[in-house]
Structure 1
Amino acid sequence: MCRWLAYSGSPVRLDDLLYKPVNSLVMQSKHSRMGVETTNGDGFGVGWYGTGPTPGVYHSTEPAWHDRNLRELAGHASAGHVFAHIRATTGTAVQQTNCHPFRHGQWLWMHNGVLTDFHKVKRDLAMAVEPDLYPEIEGSTDSELFFYLALTFGLERDPQAAVAEAVGLIEETGRRHGIDYPLQMTVATTDGDTTWAFRYSSEGNSRSLFHSNDIATLRAQYPDNPLIHELSDDTRLVVSEPLGDLRGAWREVPDATCVVVHGGEQELYPFSPSTPVAAAV
């Protein structure tokens, strides 16, 4: 479906994340090891927090491996908080407004997965979006609509509760339309300070998700690895699949789990849908 990474820590050049690792995101765009599709060539996007009041985003409908502008940008831009996503469409158009990460103010959002039979539930879910937010939806994907449902339910106040309510609404709506397994998701969202990542599916068989191990532990384990020694202690990655084969560097995120990364702290919490307190209908 898609592959993504969420990075926070010491500032790094984008090509250190997107190109240089053995199983980099650009490599995954052609040869994904764990995705539903081997090829994720229906566009890509990068979001990063720099000096501006909101995060920068770069989207393209080119395959990531084919975009010369991405390589040029990645060789010069650096940031300490980066979201990147390569897309394999589940049916919606290949266009820039459908490329992740999506942005609202300080917030970024990206999704791997699908709202099953989206055409059956799209109208009902769209009607639940807060009216003041609805005009900001630019594309046609289930992922962007999911983002605006989470915003409707208070993403900016309490991301874990808001995503739980959005998932609850999606599942209730899907089952009302006769869909047994309405949602498959790994989701990441951030305000530029904290990252929340979720692994969940209605059928209990979710897409792959991993988080990096403690950098200090890896330094002790691999004293001759120069890249590890260049990173700060608070460096953390959450990824659809590991970027390399370094033993002990990655841990699988359990199903039905939310990962919260803030500075050097990384906590895992159980995740389950909840009934929306109030939907805008």
Structure 2
Amino acid sequence: MCRHLAYLGPPERLGDLLIEPAHSLYRQSWAPRRQRYGTVNADGFGVGWYADGDPVPARYRRAGPIWADQSLADLARVVRSGAVLAAVRDATLAGADAEAAAAPFAAGPWLFSHNGAVAGWPRSLAPLAETLPAADLLSLEARNDSALVWALVLARLRGGDEEGQALADTVLDVAAAAPASRLNLLLTNGETVMATAWGDTLWYLAEPGRRTVVASEPYDDDPHWQEVPDRTLLAASRTDVLLTPLKDPSDALAHTPTPGSARAEGDPAPKEPST
């Protein structure tokens, strides 16, 4: 269900990142190697990048498959950037939002992508949607699960949360409201990349001090690609990568004692009632 990629490093042509590698994001649109759900990512694509001296990224998005866009080749040949986020989309449900539903979503300095699907969409997230200001809901770019997840992340960012905390808390909230959701999120501000591995594959390639790539799957056969464990928050810059485990809310529920439940080994024995 979708593939995405974020790059931080020396300025590179978009084509060298997204099209030329043997197993590039371009090729992953019809022949992904490690995608667990869905087989073809032909419901839109998008590329976001940062230009020197401008903190607000540019975007190029289309509703159709990436291989059918003849303008992308020219764009990818001449545009260079040291910070890129791109995605190819496999829609959760059919919709009429066209390129507005394609990642990356954007606001201010941020680019965002969601690889996965929200279980039980849209009813499952109605309670979370109700926590958002009406203006945020009316400003959604598209009426799909990814756009609402982005709105939840963005509300936390605008409320002052750090980027990693905003992603992690949103994933935990959505997973609690809609168990079995797949929530691989990707966020960049042009200087750092935050990502979650939650239900689908996530990999990274790091050359400390030079470049970092975070992607749904490796775009080449470089042996230095490393897989991120499931239920993990990744925080990356051009110099380092930090992995932090995320606690599945269903685990906490599974270990919450219920009235009359058997006492777990090591728990103190109940006291006799006083008279």
Same fold flag (TM > 0.5): yes
Q: CA RMSD in A?
A: 1.8
After TM superposition, give the deviation of residue 161 of structure 1 in Å. Answer: 2.1
Question: Where does the alignment leave 5 or more consecutive residues of structure 2 unmatched?
Answer: 250-275
2:4–2:25 contact (8 Å) kept in structure 1: yes
1:164–1:273 contact (8 Å) kept in structure 2: no
Within 5 Å, which residues of 2 pair with 1:164-203?
164-174=168-178, 181-200=179-198
Which amino acid is 1:167 matched to? V
Which amino acid is 2:154 matched to? L
After TM superposition, give the deviation of residue 132 of structure 1 in Å. Answer: 4.4
SS of the equivalent of 2:157 reads coil
* Runs ≥4 residues deviating over 4 A: none
1:7–1:83 contact (8 Å) kept in structure 2: yes
- Match of residue 99, structure 2, among 96, 101, 115: 96
Residues in 2 aligned to 1:119 and 1:267: alpha-carbon distance in whole angstroms: 33
- Match of residue 57, structure 1, among 56, 59, 74: 59
After TM superposition, give the deviation of residue 135 of structure 1 in Å. Answer: 3.2
Bigger mean CA deviation after superposition, 149-158 or 85-94: 149-158
Question: Where does the alignment leave 5 or more consecutive residues of structure 1 unmatched?
Answer: 175-180, 201-205, 216-232, 275-281
Which amino acid is 1:197 matched to? A
After TM superposition, give the deviation of residue 212 of structure 1 in Å. Answer: 0.4
Structure 1 pair 272–150 and aligned structure 2 pair: CA distance change class (3 A): farther
After TM superposition, give the deviation of residue 53 of structure 1 in Å. Answer: 4.3
Structure 1 pair 273–167 and aligned structure 2 pair: CA distance change class (3 A): farther
- Match of residue 151, structure 1, among 136, 143, 154: 154
Residues in 2 aligned to 1:154 and 1:86: alpha-carbon distance in whole angstroms: 25
TM-score (norm 2): 0.83
**Identity over aligned residues, as a percent?**
33
Which amino acid is 2:187 matched to? T
- Match of residue 246, structure 2, among 271, 275, 279: 271
After TM superposition, give the deviation of residue 125 of structure 1 in Å. Answer: 2.6
1:164–1:272 contact (8 Å) kept in structure 2: no
Name the structure 2 match of 1:212.
205
- Match of residue 130, structure 2, among 107, 127, 130: 127
Which amino acid is 1:169 matched to? D
Residues in 2 aligned to 1:84 and 1:66: alpha-carbon distance in whole angstroms: 16
SS of the equivalent of 1:153 reads helix
Residues in 2 aligned to 1:258 and 1:164: alpha-carbon distance in whole angstroms: 7
Name the structure 1 match of 2:70.
68
Residue-by-residue CA offset, 1:236-269 (whole Å, 9 max, x unaligned): 10111111112x2200001111111122121111
For these two proteins, the number of residue pairs brought into alignment is 245
- Match of residue 245, structure 1, among 221, 245, 265: 221
Question: Are 1:236 and 2:212 matched, yes or no?
Answer: yes
Residues in 1 aligned to 2:132 and 2:212: alpha-carbon distance in whole angstroms: 32
1:170–1:182 contact (8 Å) kept in structure 2: no
Name the structure 2 match of 1:137.
140
Name the structure 1 match of 2:167.
163
Residues in 1 aligned to 2:171 and 2:220: alpha-carbon distance in whole angstroms: 32
Question: Are 1:111 and 2:114 matched, yes or no?
Answer: yes
Name the structure 2 match of 1:226.
none
Residues in 1 aligned to 2:157 and 2:225: alpha-carbon distance in whole angstroms: 31
Structure 1 pair 47–30 and aligned structure 2 pair: CA distance change class (3 A): same
Residue-by-residue CA offset, 1:78-135 (whole Å, 9 max, x unaligned): 1000000000011042611100010011111101001101022243232122344333
Which amino acid is 1:42 matched to? D
Larger CA Rg, structure 1 vs 2: 2
